[in-house]
Amino acid sequence: MTERAPYAAHPARSRGRRHAEPPAAPRSEYQRDRDRIVHSTAFRRLEYKTQVFVNHEGDLFRTRLTHSLEVAQIGRTLARMLGLDEDLTETLALAHDLGHTPFGHVGQDVLNACMRDHGGFEHNLQSLRVVDTLEQKYAEFDGLNLTFEAREGILKHCSARNARELGEVARRFLDGGQPSLEAQITNLADEIAYNNHDVDDGLRSGLITLEQLAEVDIFARHLNEVRAQYPRLTDRRLIHETVRRMINTLVVDLLEQTRRNLAQHRPVDLDAVRACPPLAAFSDEVLARHRELKRFLFHNLYRHYRVVRMSEKAKRLLRELFDAFIAEPRLLPPEHRARADADPYRAVCDYIAGMTDRYAIREHRRIYDIDELA
Ligand code: MG
């Protein structure tokens, strides 16, 4: 096992939690963070939240839960090879999508539009809100009371206005600077995971084809390699052998480029990492191919008419839910109703953001379907 690097986040040198707690021993502080995520309600909801395909469209497609597990797998590999803290990396991977709405990205767009005059909505900020405030499980505090490094890593983007409100954890969005390397690699592990599993899910769904993908350089290279080695291989095995080689190429390239950047900048500790330019990166050549694949998926999968059709239905459904709750907050379940007295828009937004796909569909039916009794 690689030794811990000087620039790694170190649980014993954490900037701590917002509410002081006794040490986590025998676990490290970051192990405790990771465990709190796994035991959270928001984490279990990821099982029924869309990545690209809505949960009821098929049992084998990725959900936000399996996506997060794949990010954690890639992130841990990278962390181990670079001597970083694996537990913090895993925490960030498992937490990175906790704030996602039902129905993937359209959910965020709808809620952001609904909240335009009321502070807006951003799923990444919502992830921090989930771990800071919305989880209600502990006797002494709201949220999960995670370490500063976990909270800093969860917050990937932030407007200046929100950054001023959030204080220290968001300071880099005002003053410049980077988060830990653990956060930087988790971010890229997220990209590696979704680009590759969306290829796999896209092919499985039949919305994209091998022939189309053969036009994409990074896919074609690995496909040809597999076909040369196993001329008779077809279907699932051919796809998986190609995808696993793509993942490997991206992970190895990311490792090598990041090592070059580390050798150039030589950060002596985590604070030095924060002051450097981004250190985790792909090489220019692989980045260009990775982006080509991203563009392909955007045009051919995420914009496929069948995906758009589902997204449009989801938009209408969420908008109608929002309107119904705002028009009549007494439709809210009691715990959300109580919060609506102080700020109805934020309470409704939090309630909808937390819903799984199927819960949102059921709730819409309960509110709008006259034959639905309860
Ligand atoms: Mg993600």
Number of domains in the chain: 1
Domain range holding 202?
22-307
Residue 152 lies in a domain: yes
194 alpha carbon – ligand 1 mean position (Å):
7
230 alpha carbon – ligand 1 mean position (Å):
33
Residue 315 lies in a domain: no
51 alpha carbon – ligand 1 mean position (Å):
8
Residue 358 lies in a domain: no
Give the pair of three-digit tokens for residue 51: 């990545």
Q: For helices 344-354 and 104-114, what crossing angle results, to 10°? A: 170
Residue 2 lies in a domain: no
Residue 55 lies in a domain: yes
At 222-232, the pLDDT tens digits run: 999 999 999 99
Residue 365 lies in a domain: no
175 alpha carbon – ligand 1 mean position (Å):
26
Residue 284 lies in a domain: yes
114 alpha carbon – ligand 1 mean position (Å):
23
pLDDT for 374 equals: 61
CA distance 254 to 189: 9
330 alpha carbon – ligand 1 mean position (Å):
34
Bridge partners (DSSP) of residue 63 are 50
pLDDT for 261 equals: 98
At 37-49, the pLDDT tens digits run: 999 999 999 999 9
Confidence of residue 51 (pLDDT cuts 50, 70, 90): confident
CA distance 306 to 284: 34
352 alpha carbon – ligand 1 mean position (Å):
19
Residue 341 lies in a domain: no
Give the pair of three-digit tokens for residue 355: 């819903």
Q: Of 89, 74, 64, give the one whose Cα is nearest residue 250.
A: 74
238 alpha carbon – ligand 1 mean position (Å):
26
CATH, residue 141? 1.10.3210.10
96 alpha carbon – ligand 1 mean position (Å):
6
At 313-353, the pLDDT tens digits run: 999 999 999 999 999 999 999 989 999 999 999 999 999 99
Confidence of residue 11 (pLDDT cuts 50, 70, 90): very high
Position 55 pLDDT exceeds 90: no
